C-alpha cells in the first residue's frame, strides 16, 4: 500500500486532496503535515515510512518556501520522490523545481481527479520500474551494492526539459586557453554546444574541405556515460555509407580530449526549417529521405534512440542526413548499449511510451519518434505539450493519437500507424512507412 506524506499549510486543501486520492486508489495511506505548526522535519523524521512526498511550494512561512525545504531534503539519504504543488503556472518555476530534484510539478488550480490520477499513476509506475531494476541488479551482481536509480538524460537544448546541470564549458575556449590543436585540422569557429560534446567548424588541411569536429575533453569531464556515448557514435556508423546518414571520417584521441571528424551540413537542421514552415511537397520528400536513412540504420540492428528535428541535418542541396548516434542502442551487442546501465537517454517530446518508461524497446521506438516529428512538420506544432516531464511521458503513454487538420486528413493513417502506443500495432519498419506513404499519394 503506497504511503504519502502531504505537506501543505491549508488544512482544507490537505483534506480535499486526501479525499481525491483515497477515492481514486482506496488503499493509499495519506498523512497530513502542517508546515506552520510542525516546522521543517528534523534528522529524526522517519522518511522510510513514506513512498511519496507531496510538498506545497507556498508553505505559509516567512522567508521559506518548498524549494528551500527541498534543498534541505536533498542532503537526506532515503528521501522519497517529491511532487511539488504551486498556485503559479510558471514554466521558469517548474524548471527550478525539477532541477531541485522533484519528480514532478502540479499547478494547484489545475488539480482534478483526472490530473491527480494521471500524475500519481506515472510516479508509482516509475517507482515500480526503479525497484525492479534494483532487484534485478542485486540478483545478477550479488557482490555489488544496489544499482543507482535510472536517470533521464534528456537532450533537447530548446526547452526546460534539458535539465542537465553539467554542461561542458566551451571546448573552443579551452582549446585556445591551453594552446591545443586538433591534428590535421584548422579550427574556424564554435558552432554548437550539445549535451555530450562541443561542435566546431573546421577545415581539413589535407583536402581543404569543411568538416565538423565533435570534441569532448577526457580530463575534467570524466562522465562515463558521456564518454561511452561519444565513442559509440563512431563505432556504430563509421562504416555505413548512406546518403541519408551523416558521414563520419575519423575518430581520434589527443592529449586531453577526444574528437570525431564528420560531414559538414551548411543547410542547418530541421528545427530551423520548422521555424520558417515547410511546404507540404518538401515535407513528403523529407519523410522519404528520413525513412531511407532509418531503414539503413535499422538493418544494422541499431536503434537511434533520439530521433528529433535537431538531429536531422541538411546539405546545401537540401538533401538531409540523420546524425548524432551517441545515444544509439546496438541490438546485436546489448553489452555495449548505454541504455542498459540504468540510464534512459532521449528527448521527452519525441520519446516512445516504451522508451520513456524504461522498458525494452527496438527500432519501432524510432518510428514513434518519427511520427511525432512528421506531425510537427505537417502542422508546425508538437502533438503533445505539458508543463512537466512526468505529465508529458503520461501523454505519450495514455493520450489519444492527435488528429491532423481537415486539409491534411489523408495523412492521418500515416500518423496513426506511427503513434500507436503498442509497438506491435505500429508500422513495423521504415520501409513499411514508405509503402504507406506511396499508397496515400
* Active site (catalytic) residues: 306
Between helix 430-440 and helix 280-299 the angle, nearest 10°, is 150
Strand order in the sheet with 3-7: 29-33, 3-7, 52-56, 82-86, 104-107
Q: What is the dihedral of CA 401, 289, 261, 259, to 10 degrees?
A: 10
Task: Give the per-residue SS3 of the chain.
Answer: CCEEEEECCCHHHHHHHHHHHHHHHCCCEEEEECHHHHCCCCCCCCHHHCCEEEEECCCCECCECHHHHHHHHCCCCCCCCEEEEECCCCHHHHHHHHHCCCCEEEEHHHCCHHHHHHHHHHHHHHHHHHHHHHHHHHHHCCCCCCCCCCEEEECCCCCCCCCCCCCCCCHHHHHHHHCCCCCCEEEEEEEEECCCCEEEEEEECCCCCEEEEEEEECCCCCCHHHHHHHHHHHHHHCCCCCCCECCEEEEEECCCEEEEEEECCCCCEHHHHHHHCCCHHHHHHHHHHHHHHHHHHHHCCEECCCCCHHHEEECCCCCEEECCCCCCEECCCHHHCHHHCCEEEECCCCCCHHHHCCCCCCHHHHHHHHHHHHHHHHHCCCCCCCCCHHHHHHHHHHCCCCCCCHHHHHHHHHHHHHCCCCHHHCCCCHHHHHHHHHHHC
Residue 275 half-sphere exposure toward CB, CA atoms < 13 A: 7
Q: Which three cell numbers stand for residue 395?
A: 501523454
Radius of gyration in angstroms for the set of CA atoms belonging to the chain, rounded to a whole number: 24
Query: In terms of Cα–Cα distance, which of 418, 437, 403 is closest to 353?
Result: 418
Amino acid at each position: 500500500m503506497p504511503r504519502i506524506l502531504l505537506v501543505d499549510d491549508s488544512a482544507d486543501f490537505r483534506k480535499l486532496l486526501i479525499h481525491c486520492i483515497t477515492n481514486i486508489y482506496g488503499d493509499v495511506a495519506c498523512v497530513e503535515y502542517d508546515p506552520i505548526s510542525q516546522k521543517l522535519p528534523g534528522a529524526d523524521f522517519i522518511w522510510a515510512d513514506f513512498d511519496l512526498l507531496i510538498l506545497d511550494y507556498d508553505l505559509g512561512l516567512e522567508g521559506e518556501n518548498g524549494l528551500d525545504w527541498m534543498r534541505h531534503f536533498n542532503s537526506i539519504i532515503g528521501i522519497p520522490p517529491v511532487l511539488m504543488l504551486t498556485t503559479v503556472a510558471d514554466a521558469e518555476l517548474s524548471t527550478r523545481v525539477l532541477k531541485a530534484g522533484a519528480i514532478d510539478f502540479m499547478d494547484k488550480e489545475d488539480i482534478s481527479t483526472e490530473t491527480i490520477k494521471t500524475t500519481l499513476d506515472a510516479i508509482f509506475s516509475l517507482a515500480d520500474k526503479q525497484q525492479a531494476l534494483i532487484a534485478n541488479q542485486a540478483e545478477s551482481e550479488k557482490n555489488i551494492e544496489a544499482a543507482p536509480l535510472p536517470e533521464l538524460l534528456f537532450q533537447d537544448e530548446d526547452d526546460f526539459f534539458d535539465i542537465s546541470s553539467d554542461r561542458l564549458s566551451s571546448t573552443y575556449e579551452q582549446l585556445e586557453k591551453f594552446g591545443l590543436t586538433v591534428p590535421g585540422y584548422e579550427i574556424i569557429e564554435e558552432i554548437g554546444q550539445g549535451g555530450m560534446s562541443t561542435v566546431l567548424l573546421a577545415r581539413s588541411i589535407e583536402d581543404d574541405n569543411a568538416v565538423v569536429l565533435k570534441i569532448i575533453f577526457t580530463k575534467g569531464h570524466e562522465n562515463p556515460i558521456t564518454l561511452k556515448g561519444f565513442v559509440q557514435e563512431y563505432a556504430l556508423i563509421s562504416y555505413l555509407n548512406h546518403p541519408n546518414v551523416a558521414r563520419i571520417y575519423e575518430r581520434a584521441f589527443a592529449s586531453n580530449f577526444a574528437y570525431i571528424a564528420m560531414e559538414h551540413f551548411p543547410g542547418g537542421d530541421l528545427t530551423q526549417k520548422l521555424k520558417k514552415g515547410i511546404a507540404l511537397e518538401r515535407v513528403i520528400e523529407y519523410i522519404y529521405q528520413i525513412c531511407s536513412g532509418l531503414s539503413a540504420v535499422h538493418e544494422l540492428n541499431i536503434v537511434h534512440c533520439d530521433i528529433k528535428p535537431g538531429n536531422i541535418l541538411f546539405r546545401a542541396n537540401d538533401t538531409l542526413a540523420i546524425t548524432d548516434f551517441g545515444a544509439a542502442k546496438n541490438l546485436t551487442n546489448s553489452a555495449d548499449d548505454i541504455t542498459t546501465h540504468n540510464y534512459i537517454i532521449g528527448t521527452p517530446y519525441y520519446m516512445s511510451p516504451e522508451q520513456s518508461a524504461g522498458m525494452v524497446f527496438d527500432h519501432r521506438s524510432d518510428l514513434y519518434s518519427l511520427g511525432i516529428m512528421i506531425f510537427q512538420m505537417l502542422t508546425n506544432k508538437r502533438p503533445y505539450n505539458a508543463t512537466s516531464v512526468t505529465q508529458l511521458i503520461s501523454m505519450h503513454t495514455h493520450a489519444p493519437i492527435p488528429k491532423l487538420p481537415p486539409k491534411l486528413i489523408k495523412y492521418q493513417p500515416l500518423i496513426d500507424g506511427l503513434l500507436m502506443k503498442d509497438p506491435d500495432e505500429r508500422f513495423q519498419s521504415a520501409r513499411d512507412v514508405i509503402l504507406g506513404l506511396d499508397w496515400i499519394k
